[in-house]
A and B are shown apart, each in its own frame.
Chain A
Amino acid sequence: MARIMIVDDAAIMRRNIQLMLERAGHTIVAEAGNGAQAFHEYQVHKPDLVTMDITMPGINGVETVKNIVAEFPDALIIMISALSSKHLVLQAIKNGAKHYIIKPISAEKLLVVVNDVLVRYQNKKMCAGDRQWD
């Protein structure tokens, strides 16, 4: 039951991820379509966790992670990337991202990674919806 922010320039992707997360019991507290907006929204809502697409117009995911983590060192950010962008993922993690998912995203993959990050860094109990993936 975490408060999550979704960052992706494609509204469809955001919707997709939102459905998957909400079905598992998480709450979407904010959305952003680019890096600048992401930073702003983070400041306002201080979500527990952020999913962020790596390739975005303007400030890309790697930069955005750096900015957010610099200001909020406890930020938990999960990168979403295509297989071809693994090198970007490396940079993002070096900048402070905590985990990543390679597209295509399945609900199973998404929830496993989200949970892993939450458990590791916040010791939150598993959401009820995750039981089926055990």
Chain B
Amino acid sequence: MKVLNNQYIIKHFPVAALAVLLVIFLAAIGNGSDNKNFVKKIAPQAVQGVIDLSDWNLREDGLVAIDGEWEFYWKRLLTPADFANDLSGAKSLVVVPNQWNNYAASDDVQGGAGYATYRLTLKLQQPHMKLGLKLPDVSTSYNIWIDGKFLDSTGVVGSNAELCWPAYQPKVLYFENFGNTAEVVIQVANFVHHKGGLKSSLQFGTDKEIRQLREKKLALDVFLFGVFLIMACYHFGLFCLRRKEKSTLYFGLFCLLVAIRTTVTGEILVVEVLPNIDWQLILKVEYLTYYLGLPTFLGFIYYLFPQETSIRVLKTVNVIGIAFGMVVLLLPLKVFAYTLMFYNFLTVAASVHMLYAMYKAAAANKEGAFLFSLGIGVIAVSAVNDMLYNNNLINTGNIVPTGLFIFIFIQSFVLSARFSYAMSAVEQMSDKLRKSHVEIAGWNKKLEKTVDQRTAAVRNLLNNAGQGFLTFGYDLLIRGEYSNECVKLFEQDIKNKNFAKLLFPNNDQEQSFTTEALQQVLDEEDAAMQKIYLSLLPEEALINDKNVKIEYKVLGSDKNDQVLMVILTDITEKRLIERQMEQERLILKMVVRVIQSRRDFINCIKEYRQFCHEGLKSIIESDLETDEMIFEVFRKTHTFKGIFSQFGMGNITESLNVMETELSALGKNSVTPMTVKELIEFLDGFDMLTWLDKDIVILKEVIGEDVLLDENGVVISHSQLAEFERKVSELIQQPERAKLLAEISKLKFVLFRDLFKRYPDLTLQLAEKEGKFINPFVISGGRFPVDADQYYDLAKSVIHLFINSVNHGIESVEERLAYGKNQYGEITCSIELSDGKIAVVITDDGSGIDFNKVREKVVSKGLYSPEQAAVLTEAELLKFIFEARFSTRDDITMLSGCGVGMAVVKREAEKLGGTISITTEAGQGTAYIITIPYHER
């Protein structure tokens, strides 16, 4: 708030300062001053006991303080009669107002005690005026006569302490002057106060003016009393509401003390209310309010500006103030009066400190410090003034009340300012809060949106994970959020459905078991036990004919809030593949076993077939009893079953097992023995030979047609044969040796066609790989024996021809159809022997060799220029195909169009003394012809 801002005040300082000064000035004048200095005329002073007011128009020129030289009769109580009869005696002249301690005439005064008579003669303008006289508090008792008439007394005047009775009471007296003069005689006696006599001025004027003066002063005192009392109550109220602010308490106390002080100073209100109040009490209260007032005020300052005010100063003042207060309370005026001077010094010192503290506070820019300093300054000034006035050094009057009034005004203003400031701060904050609310609401919306987005993202993720995720709590009802896969698996919407029921719709027992186990998991706190319960639950289930893997997870850290998540994975395909793999494994096992014990296998098959055909019959036709027969058959089938089981032949093993079981049941069951006919019928029901065929078919597929071929021979390895050859060479002489070696060689002979045996299959596989379609083919011809070793390399190299045909010869289906060819390509392989020459012909009905491509390749290889390449004949180009250099890998890849394999085949053919040629026709096909001599050896 601006007014609390010190800079603001300083800027407007001139105005504020002037205002304050003006107020002080007015107060000083209005309050205590008995001198109306602003009046144009200056009132005359009394001289030699006479005051000449014959030129003074009381009505116009106003009141007069009848100060100056009065007649003074020390230690004489004289009446007007005494003066009339001239019995006054020696007179002295003293200046009034003043305490008679200061007079030379009364230099034997001791501690203010004594008695005297004052006399003044007034010279007036007119006779018979209605006049008034205002008497201040006189120390401490008096009698007053005017114009010989006894007007009033205050207290009891006496010549010694016993006879004298003190009283303070400012009074007004009205009288009428007889003639042009008026004689004032005042007897004063004092035995209690340390200052005696007419300490203050008497005011004189028209009765009306005097009355007005008195009323004005009274009113002011009452007003101030009221103000200070209200302020005290108000601050006490503030303190009650907010105990933290000790400053309000001290200020309230201070205001209270000042309020009390106003009743015992100035017009001394208390006497109006309690006329018989003990005069000492008035004095004591006056002192006490001062002695207690200073620490209270200092305390107030301290709690307002604790950093700037010294606590030590405060404590010191507190101690002294309370101590002096006790002195005032307990001891008579004569004693405690002397403490006043000392206390005044303390007040000055404290004031200096206070002003310094204020300065520091203003420098530290504490709120309202400047205004405060101003207020304190005002009080300080008025306090100083009062001190001086009360010591009769100046004649202004007590203005501390007014000064305090100003200060309190400032203080109230500051308080109100603070209050307003607090209110507007609250309003601002409410505003801010409102705005924040709106902002927060906005953020909330944003957050919700973000959460929604994230949830959607997660849901999306789960839905695309290919696994079913669902959750449920203790009630086993599936919660809202689950992935789409669940719906696919269960083939229904699963929200709020019971999980156990969904899983085992037709099995009540499983349902209840699952429910119990799941609920145990959720009841259980120990994670290890949870795992154990979960392990009892099914890991796999059949849902709508799908094999589904089930995993369980417990979610939620808060034990009361735990939820189970189930992850479902469709493993139908996986199981299918596993089954297929298992089947293939078993088949392979069977194949391996069969191959390992080929001889035994073939014998076994023979025996079984023989049993089926003849063995059974012989049992039937024997002399045994039917149950014995049954037992025999049982025994045999059991044996066969065991053997076939060893070979891993699953089908027949299973079938024989069934037969066995039925036979055994038959045997146990027969109450009445079977007839043979019945037995034959029974046995006919078993298709024993067909069972075997099933496995044989599988074996043939894998091993080949000759699985059953019973060579009834010996198998020997190549190394064995080589060893044999060596031995023959060692041990047998020529010419038998050559003959024998030839015969041995013949052992190694195979049919020439067998060297090419695998090519049809291989070519077919290759075509499939390349995405080409060809008809299966067989090797024709070549049924003559040859030494396998001799023709082995050539036969191996021929693969390149087939590769060429598939890769470059046979076109894609679209192309073939476009050319009007059959969508399936034709590849053939024929072997002929004539005139000692073997001809191997491999053909394809593809696109033929593209000679342009060959030309391009030749050019790109840098062997010919384009012009040269253009004139090359087909024959020359063909030769070039065969003459590929394959020294580096790069060459091979660059010439991939024609295939390096050709060169390999050519080489092999020539090694055997043969040749290779190509016939090709664009769009029709290609034929590779290998011609090699036939060595019969």
Contacts and interface: CB of A to CB of B under 8 A. Distances in A.
A112 B516 CA distance: 26
Interface of chain A, main secondary structure? helix
A121 B520 CA distance: 20
Contacts of A86: 513, 536
B517 interface: yes
B39 interface: no
A89 B520 CA distance: 13
B532 A99 contact: yes
A125 interface: no
Contacts of B516: 90
Interface string B494-529: 000000000000000100010011001000000011
Contact of B528 (A89, A94, A100, A120): A120
Contacts of A93: 520, 529, 532-533, 536
Interface in B121-161: none
Interface string A82-100: 0000110110011000111
Interface size class of A (residues with CB under 8 A): 10 to 19
Contacts, number: 24
Contacts of B517: 90
A90 B513 contact: yes
Interface in B893-921: none
Interface residues of B, number: 10
Contact of B533 (A87, A90, A116): A90
Interface in A55-110: 86-87, 89-90, 93-94, 98-100
B532 A100 contact: yes
Contacts of B529: 93, 98
A101 B585 CA distance: 31
A94 B536 contact: no
Contacts of A94: 520
For B517, B520, B532, which residue has the most chain A Cβ atoms within 10 angstroms? B532
A86 B532 CA distance: 12
A98 B517 CA distance: 15
Contacts of B513: 86-87, 90
A116 to B, nearest CB: 8
Interface in B696-740: none
B536 A90 contact: yes
B528 A90 contact: no
A90 B532 CA distance: 9
Contacts of B520: 90, 93-94
Interface string B796-828: 000000000000000000000000000000000
A39 B532 CA distance: 25
A97 to B, nearest CB: 9
A90 B529 CA distance: 11
Nearest to A81: B536
Nearest to A91: B516
Nearest to B528: A120
Contacts of B509: 87
Nearest to B516: A90
B532 to A, nearest CB: 6
A98 B532 CA distance: 9
A26 B257 CA distance: 97
Nearest to A99: B532
Given A90-B513, A98-B529, A100-B536, 5 more contacts: A89-B536, A93-B532, A93-B536, A100-B532, A120-B528
24 contacts: A86-B513, A86-B536, A87-B509, A87-B513, A89-B536, A90-B513, A90-B516, A90-B517, A90-B520, A90-B533, A90-B536, A93-B520, A93-B529, A93-B532, A93-B533, A93-B536, A94-B520, A98-B529, A98-B532, A99-B532, A100-B532, A100-B536, A116-B528, A120-B528
Interface of A: 86-87, 89-90, 93-94, 98-100, 116, 120
The 3 closest A-B pairs by CB, nearest first: A87-B513, A86-B536, A90-B517
Interface of B: 509, 513, 516-517, 520, 528-529, 532-533, 536
